[in-house]
Structure 1
Amino acid sequence: MSRNAVLGVDIGTSSSKGVLVATDGTVLRSAVREHTVDRPAPGHVEMDAGVWWDETVSLCRELTAGADADVLAVGVSGMGPCVLLTDADDTPLRPAVLYGVDTRAGAQISRLDAELGREEIRRRCGSLLSSQAAGAKIAWIADEEPGLFARARRLYMTSSWLVRKLTGAYVLDHHSASQATPLYDTHAQDWYTPWTELVAPGLPMPPLRWSGEAAGTVTAEAARLTGLPAGIPVITGTVDAWAEALSVGAHRPGDLMLMYGTTMFLVHTVPDLLTDPALWSTVGALPGTRSLAGGMATSGAVTGWLRDLFGDADYAGLTALAEDSGPGANGLLMLPYFAGERTPLMDPQARGVIAGLTLSHTRGDLYRAALEATAFAVRHNIETLERAGGDIRRIVAVGGGTRGGLWTRIVSDVTGRPQQLRTVSLGASYGAALLAARLVGDASADAWNPVAHTVTPDPAATARYEELYGLYRRLHPATADVVHALAARQER
């Protein structure tokens, strides 16, 4: 007897993931498609939107082929905020410009700050302009590629592009829009027309819906390509980190979601609007919710770089070596700013630093230092969230980096805070599937995905890390002039 099910797809930085889930939360099938982003120039990070759709088609076909399940609805999410511009026929005009890892729009940020007022932008939009702001990247395209921009008629982000391809609907979720600073008014929760016309003249903004609302239904053509049933609903979707938070139930005031992935993301749900120049204030994925968020430009990306650099190593072997290295990595200290840094530094010219190297240090020490560096950065973000008025009562961890145990243990030891781990750690694709399940019945994260384990800090390790954290906080100011000069040379 076939089971009722929903399907979730998430387009991430390094891979696309799909999951087929029974309506009671049981994972029936999952699949992954790995990909890479393009870096055509220093600070530019892009991706061909054709890859997003091709991998979605492939995932849907694999997940549904021969499955003894009736798919009732589809959920989508993706990295963001991204900027994909198309012409009137929905032909992409250029590769999509990715989220805060792309730092190209510095000149546009300076210009818009001067024209609109830096604090007025934060007052109206909730966040200052930064490398995360999609509106500044639209301005970059308008400035640097004016002929192309003149042909632009639609704005998509990752999940909304999938919605368009699946249903024909042109919509965007409120959360993604709230990261399109300075185009979205966080108080009115709508596009702010005077600034959309200034920044993106002639480009119609998509109608807005909440992430879990139905955007449309699967068309006959999309059904033919994907193997999905025609006519089933598709959610509006959202940015992957917010879908991940939903997947583990971290959407109540006081919750903080830590997403362990290629980058590290922190989403703190707050009852009322809070803003801070070192953080991002957004509306949440669900109606009536707000978030104060942070994001690091790298985390797992650094461990992946080390694995590739070492050549013959794998993650399990490096984790074992890092375990043997012990707290403090035998006197190594790393800054994880290998692609600049987002929050709380907001410094796209920051760079990675490894301090204390000697000829006796090993691969395990370097790998341990990388894990500890991300943990120090998490603590820096947590302290900034609480300084801004956040009230963190529970931390829930999710993502591929939670597997293996060492990384989450280091983060708890450095921060002195416990972290809940849920039973299912698939992340955003599972959260998108949960939203889809809510369209066709009752579903909750607590029922779908109960707490499996809590990582608790070791007081002795926390005490050892206290001095190292102080050194970590001193290292960036002490080296900033040098690394900024090196960053300028890299961009020539």
Structure 2
Amino acid sequence: MTAPGPLLLGLDVGTYSSKGVLVTPDGDIVAQHVVAHEMSMPAAGHVEQDADAVWWADTQSLIRSLLQDVDPARVAGVACSAIGPTLLALDAEGRPLRPGILYGVDTRAGRQIDALNAELGEDAIFRHSQMALTSQAVGPKIRWLREHEPGVWARTRTLTTASSYLVYRLTGRHVMDHHTGAHFMPLYEPRTQQWSDTYRRSVLGDRDLDLLPELAWSDEKAGEVSAEASRLTGLRPGTPVAVGTVDALAEAISVGATGPGDLMLMYGSTTFFVLVQPSPTPDPRVWSVGGAFPGQVNLAAGMGTTGSLTRWLVDEFAREVPTEQAYDALFTEAADLPPGADGLLMLPYFSGERTPINDPQARGVIAGLRLSHTRAHLFRAALEGVGFGIRHNLETFADLGAQIRRVVAVGGGTKGRHWLQIVSDITGVAQEMTRVTLGASYGDAFLAGRAAGLLAHEDLQTWMKPQAPVLPDAQRKAAYDRLYPLYRELYTATRPVVHQLPA
């Protein structure tokens, strides 16, 4: 039994697992729990998850597990984050009509992107949305749904996202945070921070904007736990629930990356970047979106396949041992190899690529293979390929004048620090870390405290407990400086061939 006092509940649904945590208002962890799940790939470029069987089922399981030895009356607030931006269509009863369509790893809407650009003009869309249409944008996926599944579209009464669906199941209210709303482009207008009718017909046809949830900030109160949600989860009715957000933004909060110039670098199933800015610096290669708190803006970016790539390698080359042991073995084997993996170079575009090339047709490429190469070489080449991709994104931020004061790393890929060292050596950038590396669920707990009225923004810094940073090695950086131009050239050289390969 824990010491008496209020507790804050943070819940995060990720690509391959969901995590929950109970935290005191001082940031001390009382309990945590993890539930594993999978994602579905029913067709080439289609990546989905079932909203009830995965998102909501995991949420219920996490809550019940965390409340086993805790009086529900002690839970002062709840906040959820989830993979996003996703697209979920609900009927008039609030029930999912089909599996949720995932974020930028789902590349099904390429033709809809082309059609919207042709109809509306790329420059006009960029001026309106402060972003270019990419596989991360939800608007083209809504149009895909309207064109390809007319029966589902006819029954659709709400278009939402994963974190907002969890809030709906807990409170009965449809509400979405501004960070996620910006990715529902071109239906969101950053200047007014409201849904916009300007391009509604091109996306929604003859339907109205009332299909979309109410907009609010991540730390605002969305509502209270309903009687039905209480019955299903064990939470006390009336418990405050925060608006919440996508997992990446909650990850940034979890490590205190909330001040101007703070860059969160998330090592998850994908790699995500969130830079807090005093004012926006829009660029078609990356994403300019709202922040977690009122008045904040973020410059964001995301790669398509990073942790998912290491998971694929583990599944294919070390399936004879448990997953965690396999990861440990491959990281150890790869750490003994020199920079460049003995002549192996990999493009980590196994699910297309998001920023900065924004090419949904990109593919993974492994160059330089010899019979002497082992699974350790492939694993190290994957880690380095992701590192080169991170460098490409950081250079893009620098190109458009974004100021980075510090880089804070978070996510499952930070375990053991091997990957972080490779990335720091490739980029020449130091990476800070905090001792609590739970990730998004820990950030959600802070949002829960905000929604419950227990915490102020400045209280977040008292939660942070820094550990020694990861510093670049000059000698290894010199080796990577010689390889980085080859990485960039490999994409340019193979792009024409890859784009002609069958899906």
Give me the whole-angstrom Cα distance separating, in 2, the residues matched to 1:305 and 1:254. 34
Q: Does the alignment pair 1:375 with 2:392?
A: no
Coordinate RMSD, CA, aligned: 1.2
Alignment correspondent of 1:81: 85
Q: 5 Å matches for 1:323-342?
A: 323-342=335-354
Structure 1 gaps of 5+ residues are none
Alignment correspondent of 1:72: 76
Alignment correspondent of 1:161: 165
Distance 1:329 1:401, change over 3 A: same
Q: 1:63 aligns with which of 60, 63, 66?
A: 66
Q: Does the alignment pair 1:29 with 2:31?
A: yes
Q: 2:463 aligns with which of 448, 467, 471?
A: 448
Alignment correspondent of 2:407: 395
Tell which deviates more after alignment, 161-170 or 268-277. 268-277
Matched residue SS, 2:266: strand
What's the CA shift for 1:453? 2.0
Alignment correspondent of 1:312: 320
Give me the whole-angstrom Cα distance separating, in 1, the residues matched to 2:15 and 2:449. 25
Alignment correspondent of 1:132: 136
Q: 5 Å matches for 1:464-475?
A: 464-475=479-490
Matched residue SS, 1:256: strand
Alignment correspondent of 2:100: 96
Tell me the alpha carbon deviations over residues 174-231 of structure 1, each in whole angstroms, 9 at most, x when there is no partner. Answer: 1110011111001111111132344123252211111100000001111111111111
Tell me the alpha carbon deviations over residues 14-68 of structure 1, each in whole angstroms, 9 at most, x when there is no partner. Answer: 1111111111111111111111111111001111100211110110000011126
Alignment correspondent of 1:123: 127
2:220/2:450 contact within 8 Å kept: no
Tell which deviates more after alignment, 24-33 or 61-70. 61-70
- TM-score, structure 2 normalization: 0.95
Alignment correspondent of 1:219: 226
2:116/2:202 contact within 8 Å kept: no
Q: Does the alignment pair 1:261 with 2:277?
A: no
Q: Does the alignment pair 1:245 with 2:278?
A: no
Give me the whole-angstrom Cα distance separating, in 1, the residues matched to 2:486 and 2:201. 46
The one-letter code matched in structure 2 to 1:225 is L
Q: 1:54 aligns with which of 37, 54, 57?
A: 57
Give me the whole-angstrom Cα distance separating, in 2, the residues matched to 1:212 and 1:395. 23
The one-letter code matched in structure 2 to 1:96 is G
Give me the whole-angstrom Cα distance separating, in 1, the residues matched to 2:57 and 2:32. 17
Alignment correspondent of 1:202: 207
1:212/1:235 contact within 8 Å kept: yes
What's the CA shift for 1:325? 1.1
Give me the whole-angstrom Cα distance separating, in 1, the residues matched to 2:450 and 2:195. 27
Tell which deviates more after alignment, 71-80 or 265-274. 265-274
What's the CA shift for 1:482? 1.3
Q: 5 Å matches for 1:418-433?
A: 418-433=430-445
Q: Does the alignment pair 1:484 with 2:499?
A: yes
Matched residue SS, 1:172: strand
Give me the whole-angstrom Cα distance separating, in 2, the residues matched to 1:234 and 1:7. 10
Matched residue SS, 2:304: coil
What's the CA shift for 1:449? 2.1
Equivalent pairs, count: 488
Tell me the alpha carbon deviations over residues 61-113 of structure 1, each in whole angstroms, 9 at most, x when there is no partner. Answer: 00011126711000111110111011111111111111100001111111111
Alignment correspondent of 1:283: 290
Q: Does the alignment pair 1:14 with 2:16?
A: yes
2:261/2:406 contact within 8 Å kept: yes
Give me the whole-angstrom Cα distance separating, in 2, the residues matched to 1:38 and 1:363. 26
Give me the whole-angstrom Cα distance separating, in 2, the residues matched to 1:210 and 1:11. 19
What's the CA shift for 1:255? 1.1
Give me the whole-angstrom Cα distance separating, in 1, the residues matched to 2:399 and 2:465. 31
The one-letter code matched in structure 2 to 1:100 is G
What's the CA shift for 1:365? 1.2
1:153/1:202 contact within 8 Å kept: no
Tell me the alpha carbon deviations over residues 408-460 of structure 1, each in whole angstroms, 9 at most, x when there is no partner. Answer: 00000100010000111111111111111123312533211221221111111
Give me the whole-angstrom Cα distance separating, in 1, the residues matched to 2:224 and 2:498. 50
What's the CA shift for 1:253? 1.3
Matched residue SS, 2:30: strand
Tell me the alpha carbon deviations over residues 376-407 of structure 1, each in whole angstroms, 9 at most, x when there is no partner. Answer: 00000000011122111100000010011100
Structure 2 gaps of 5+ residues are none
Matched residue SS, 2:19: strand
The one-letter code matched in structure 1 to 2:454 is G
Give me the whole-angstrom Cα distance separating, in 1, the residues matched to 2:124 and 2:105. 25
What's the CA shift for 1:340? 0.6
Q: What percentage of residue pairs aligned between the two structures are identical? A: 52
2:177/2:244 contact within 8 Å kept: yes
1:258/1:266 contact within 8 Å kept: yes
Give me the whole-angstrom Cα distance separating, in 1, the residues matched to 2:465 and 2:200. 42
Give me the whole-angstrom Cα distance separating, in 1, the residues matched to 2:496 and 2:6. 58
Give me the whole-angstrom Cα distance separating, in 2, the residues matched to 1:62 and 1:312. 30
